[in-house]
C-alpha cells in the first residue's frame, strides 16, 4: 500500500492486516479520490477518517493538501500503525483510540469538509455514524461523506442537479469495485 498522489506520492505505508482490518486497495482509493476531485477541493480541507485502520484515506488526503486530518480507530494496534504512518510522511495529525460513537461525541461541534467511513463490513456502523454526523451538524456545507462497505445502504440516490429538498441524506454517486461499494454522500 502506498500514497497515490500529492506531495507524499509513492511513500509506502505500514499496514495492519487481520480478520477485522482490511486495507483499501490502491486502485479503489485512487478511484475514490478521482471522484472526489469533482466534488470537493481538498486544498485546506478538514478531514475525519473515523474507522481509520492504517489511515490510508486520511493520509492520502493529507498528501493532497488537506489542512487537518483526524484519525480514529477502536483498535489500539491500528492506532499504532496510523502513528507510524503519520511519522513516515511527516503528518502531524490527531489519532484517537475510541469507539466511533465516543469519537464523534468528543469531536462535538467540529466541522469537516470530508469524512471517511470504512467500518468493519457486516455492521450497521455506517448508517449509525451518518445519523450522528447529521444530528450534530458535523459536515461542513458542501462537505462529502465517503462510505466503503459491502452492504447496500438505505440512502436514496439523488441527482447533483436537483435542488435539496428538506434535511435528508442523499447519495451523489455509487461506485462498485467487485464486492466493495463506495457511496459518496451529502446532506440534502
Mean pLDDT of the chain: 87
What are the structural domain ranges in the chain? 26-187
Task: State mean pLDDT over 12-39.
Answer: 79
Global pTM reads 0.90
Task: State mean pLDDT over 32-41.
Answer: 94
Q: Which of 17, 37, 26, 48 is nearest to 140 (CA)?
A: 48
State the residue for C-alpha cell 492520502.
Answer: 60
Q: Which residue has the higher pLDDT, 1 or 174?
A: 174
Q: Which of 103, 142, 127, 112 is nearest to 183 (CA)?
A: 127
- Grid cell listed for 64: 493532497
Query: How does pLDDT run across 125-183, given as a tens digit for each residue?
Result: 999 999 999 999 999 999 999 999 988 887 776 655 444 445 577 788 889 988 889 99
Q: Which residues contact 29 (CB under 8 A, 6 or more apart)?
A: 4, 56, 57, 60
Rounded CA Rg of the chain? 15
Has residue 19 got a pLDDT over 60? no
- Grid cell listed for 121: 463490513
- The CATH number that domain 26-187 falls under is 3.40.50.150
Percent with pLDDT over 70 in the chain: 88
CA distance 188 to 50: 22
Amino acid at each position: 500500500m502506498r500514497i497515490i498522489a500529492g506531495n507524499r506520492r509513492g511513500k509506502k505505508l505500514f499496514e495492519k492486516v487481520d480478520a477485522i482490518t482490511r486495507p483499501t486497495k490502491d486502485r479503489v482509493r485512487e478511484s475514490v479520490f478521482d471522484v472526489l476531485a469533482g466534488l470537493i477541493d481538498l486544498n485546506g480541507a478538514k478531514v475525519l477518517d473515523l474507522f481509520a485502520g492504517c489511515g490510508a484515506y486520511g493520509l492520502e488526503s493529507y498528501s493532497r493538501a488537506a489542512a487537518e486530518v483526524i484519525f480514529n480507530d477502536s483498535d489500539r494496534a491500528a492506532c499504532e500503525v496510523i502513528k507510524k504512518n503519520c511519522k513516515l510522511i511527516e503528518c502531524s495529525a490527531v489519532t484517537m483510540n475510541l469507539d466511533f460513537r465516543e469519537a464523534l461525541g468528543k469531536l462535538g461541534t467540529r466541522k469537516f469538509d470530508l469524512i471517511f467511513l470504512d467500518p468493519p463490513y457486516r455492521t450497521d456502523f455506517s448508517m449509525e455514524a451518518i445519523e450522528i454526523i447529521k444530528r450534530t451538524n458535523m459536515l461542513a456545507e458542501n462537505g462529502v461523506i465517503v462510505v466503503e462497505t459491502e452492504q447496500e445502504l438505505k440512502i436514496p440516490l439523488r441527482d447533483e442537479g436537483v435542488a435539496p429538498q428538506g434535511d435528508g441524506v442523499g447519495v451523489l454517486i455509487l461506485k462498485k469495485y467487485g464486492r466493495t461499494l463506495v457511496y459518496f454522500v451529502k446532506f440534502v
